[in-house]
Amino acid sequence: MSDRFRVTLGQLNPTVGDLAGNAAKARAAWQEGRAAGADLVALPEMFITGYNAQDLWMKPAFHRAAMDEVHRLAAACADGPALAIGSPWAEDGALYNAYLILKGGRVASAQLKHHLPNDTVFDEVRVFEAGPLGGPYSIGTTRIGSPVCEDAWHDDVAETLAETGAEFLLVPNGSPYDRGKFDTRMTHMVARVIETGLPLIYLNMVGGQDDQVFDGASFALNPGGALARLLPAFDEVVAHIDLERGEDGWRVTEGDRAQMPDALERDYRVMVTALRDYCTKTGFGKVLLGLSGGVDSALVAAIAVDALGAGNVRCVMLPSEYTSSDSLEDAEAVARLLGVRYDRVPITGPRAAVTEALAPVFEGTQPDLTEENIQSRLRGLLLMALSNKFGEMLLTTGNKSEVAVGYATIYGDMAGGYNPIKDLYKTRVFDTCRWRNANHRDWMKGPEGPVMPVRVIDKPPSAELRPDQKDSDSLPDYPELDAMLEILIDRDGSIADCVAVGFDRATAQKVERLIYLSEYKRFQSAPGARLTDRAFWLDRRYPLVNRWRDPS
């Protein structure tokens, strides 16, 4: 009986729908494992299809193609270590989320996910059947249990595996980032280790898919919950983890434990990764954005440069008669610091033409928000024209505070293909800008040093659609607004909860009303990087028609 077992982990970045490409990545990891003398090479949950494929999994042609790809992979990896990989699996008219063990040129066993997540961004109950509680699989003389992702958040699957002879647990995951997720994962996995007395290896994928980013940070725990290994967050890594058998059973040999980034860095890395992978996986090599001289567009420009490189980012200033000289100077300064192409396209002439065209039907009315929104929509039109002409995807730049209360113009500044800061409240925008000015990392393609003038961060925010306009003319100051939004959105709280912590009832009611009235705008808005478990998209699904208001 062997006293050593080596698992090669592929903490890798699949692309949804790229079956052949994902299989090639799996095979490359398997070859590294074979060269390193691995007994088992492991890939994450649903790696062959990418995660989260949502209703695509249910399409018969798709899941059959995935299964065929797995069979080809098994044949290609017949001569060497076993390969474990996640895939949809159809049996007896049912579709399962499966973890497949490939040995000797065939699919030797299938671990079928039992607990199907049905909250936040997950609705696997809609897609898959729940598998039965099962036992471990054998690699040589070693018996391994693989609770699939959510299965390890419950005690019954791991307990059943331990009772039926599993000697250690290997948990494959497609677990997306949110700010508290790493600690939550660790808490659940430590509980499984303590309950079963078995070592546990937690394998997570990396990379961006639509709004979600998978942050890796795979790890190994020994009985008692001691951390033996921690792989880097966000990076693609093929790592070899050794277990040794002693009198008390298997133990993970201790090794490198990566340093976890702080909260601001993790958020920033997610926004960069989300944009980079969204562009890479959809085929966009270049992006553009409207650079207003304000803090939001400056941050989006920095994220874009760090994601794609300065040569792939175009910034455009579209001034009107209300654009201040400070904004003109600040926009140009941001572009210069980032090293991007900078164009100026004034909207004064087009705005005069629209005003003239509408004058006969607007006769007898007073200027109001309509005229302000014309400016924003002209900017959207011109930016989309540049996007069409040069094949550059347009980025939107609205922060979560603005997106929440509708402080944005639909078909205007909301026009675009992706919004990196969609889940970042305005107060956190300021903090993130200061962080980026003070920090640079190897994964950033942008320059070292400050990338936006301090004045851009410190000046009062303004849409500059009328003389001397400030955001605070229409909204509470951002620290107050964001605190209420966190209660009403992130915590699903009430007006009474806002009042209980000292906010004015009428102001809280106004904010809540704006949130509900803006639902239709968010429904049509661009996707954006998910940073929290209450992001605007799959995490929060509200009706567009809704007359209910909190009476508290």
Task: Give the active site residues.
Answer: 45, 113, 149
Q: Is 322 helix (H, G, I), strand (E, B) or coil?
A: coil
Q: Residue 52 corresponds to which amino acid?
A: N
Euclidean distance between CA atoms 416 and 538, whole angstroms: 19
Q: How far is CA 390 from CA 171, 288, 340, 343, 384, in A?
A: 45, 10, 15, 13, 10
Euclidean distance between CA atoms 95 and 89, whole angstroms: 6
Q: 398: Cβ–Cβ under 8 A, 6 or more apart, which residues?
A: 296, 407, 408, 413, 414, 419, 421, 422, 525
Q: Is the dihedral of CA 40, 41, 45, 49 positive or negative?
A: negative
Contact 422, 212 (CB under 8 A): no
Query: Structure tokens of 148?
Result: 């699939």
| Residue whose C-alpha is closest to residue 408's, from 532, 277, 258, 294 | 294
Q: How far is CA 175 from CA 11, 202, 213, 217, 406, in A?
A: 12, 11, 9, 10, 30
> Hunting for tokens 């949502």 — which residue is that?
54
Write down the H helix ranges in 442-504: 454-458, 478-485, 495-500
Euclidean distance between CA atoms 171 and 145, whole angstroms: 8
Euclidean distance between CA atoms 508 and 505, whole angstroms: 5
Long-range contacts, stretch 130-137, CB < 8 angstroms, 24+ apart: 131/96, 131/97, 131/98, 133/157, 133/160, 134/160, 134/161, 135/160, 135/161, 135/164, 135/165, 135/166, 136/161, 136/164, 136/165, 136/166, 136/167, 137/101, 137/108, 137/109, 137/111
Angle between helical axes of 325-338 and 295-308 (0-180°, round to 10): 10
